[in-house]
Amino acid sequence: MIRVLLADDHPVVRAGLAAVLALEPDLEVVHQSADPDDALAWASAHEVDVVLMDLQFGEQVRGIEATRLLRGLVSPPQVVVLTTYDVESDVLGAVEAGAVGYLLKDAGPAELAAGVRDAAVGKPVLSPSIAQRLVRRTLKPATALTARELEVLGLVAEGLSNQRIGERLFLSQATVKSHLVHVFTKLGVDSRTSAIAAARAGGLIR
């Protein structure tokens, strides 16, 4: 049996996922968590093969950090992000944190079950739209924003100053400015407002 932990703050979503996976003879939902802390605590004390991890819990995007912590356990489970968001900043953040897969919540039951099975053996799992996005990055590496550039741009979109961004990411203001120069060049813009608009239009940030 493949032991699965569900981490999502919506009870209805967890119930639906559990019902779908219960139809599969080789998949067993061993625990449901409403927040990342509970998921981490449970996975630390019990055997789990795959965690289906949401990205956003309440108003906070905590799924990426939770993925990093889960993958750092002595016996780490595989993590598949299951979310409604398909922006590049989330995808790259999840992959860098150690997620083996990234699926959208509109995935069908068969795709979800197959994804869990693939993840359990360490095989990458990607929704078709996510795979296409990553392929486009590979085809145009010179204009693709790096994970750090996306992170900086995301904080700009939240209204943070260069100083606040530097404090949040433990970077100097000069480094933050350098990242933004690269962002402006790659997006073909000349202002923070234009960069945010272009990134959102292109599905790079939320």
pLDDT tens, residue by residue, 92-123: 889 889 999 999 998 899 999 999 999 999 99
Which domains are delineated in the chain? 2-137 (3.40.50.2300), 147-201 (1.10.10.10)
CA 171 to chain centre: 23
- pTM for this prediction: 0.76
Identify which of 119, 114, 100, 86 has the alpha carbon closest to the alpha carbon of residue 200. 86
Write down how long the chain is. 206
Contact 183/195 with Cβ under 8 angstroms? yes
Contact 127/102 with Cβ under 8 angstroms? yes
Write down the number of H helices and E strands in the chain: 10, 8
pLDDT tens, residue by residue, 152-174: 998 999 899 999 999 988 989 89
What distance in Å separates the CA atoms of residue 94 and residue 87, rounded to the nearest whole number? 11
Six token digits for residue 156: 């700009």
What distance in Å separates the CA atoms of residue 53 and residue 140, rounded to the nearest whole number? 30
pLDDT tens, residue by residue, 13-42: 999 999 999 999 999 999 999 999 999 999
